[in-house]
């Protein structure tokens, strides 16, 4: 599987959750760090994202994932992730500028 198709597979796990604005995947050592930015988090949303993380981890047990929910709270995403490019982003929601 190519890196691009793996990124799309990971993104597709979260894109149906309307609050998820984008998905970032970074290679760090032997792990893939997956960041899912949302503007505001709550218990129901966290549970929904966590369920997708579990599902993805079970489906791709050959990969060590490090999942991270990022609650932006109206702050620009670059404050959290610098200038990294998302593997997927929702075009229909207000986005922070891509740097």
Where do the structural domains in the chain lie, given as residue ranges? Answer: 3-89
Q: What is the pLDDT of residue 1?
A: 62
DSSP 42-80: -HHHHHHHHHHHHHHHHHTTTSEEEEEEEE-TT--THHH
CATH number of 3-89: 3.30.300
Opening angle at CA 36, ends 32 and 42, nearest 5: 135
C-alpha 53/C-alpha 55 separation (Å) is 5
Identify the helix (H) or strand (E) that includes residue 5: helix 3-14
Q: pLDDT tens for residues 12-33? A: 999 999 999 999 999 999 999 9
Higher model confidence: residue 93 or residue 78? 78
C-alpha 92/C-alpha 51 separation (Å) is 24
CA nearest 36: which of 16, 64, 60, 62? 16
Supply the mean pLDDT for the chain. 90
The pLDDT of residue 92 is above 80: no
Mean pLDDT of 42-50: 97
Q: What is the pLDDT of residue 96?
A: 41
Q: pLDDT tens for residues 64-90? A: 999 999 999 999 999 999 999 999 999
């Amino acid at each position: 599987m190519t890196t691009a198709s793996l990124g799309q597979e990971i993104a597709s796990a979260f894109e149906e959750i309307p609050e998820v604005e984008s998905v970032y995947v970074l290679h760090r050592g032997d792990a893939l760090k997956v960041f899912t930015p949302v503007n505001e988090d709550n218990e129901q949303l966290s549970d929904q994202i966590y369920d997708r993380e579990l599902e993805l981890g079970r489906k791709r047990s050959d990969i060590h994932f490090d999942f991270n929910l990022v609650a932006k709270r109206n702050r620009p995403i670059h404050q959290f992730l610098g200038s990294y490019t998302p593997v997927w982003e929702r075009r229909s929601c207000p986005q922070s500028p891509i740097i």
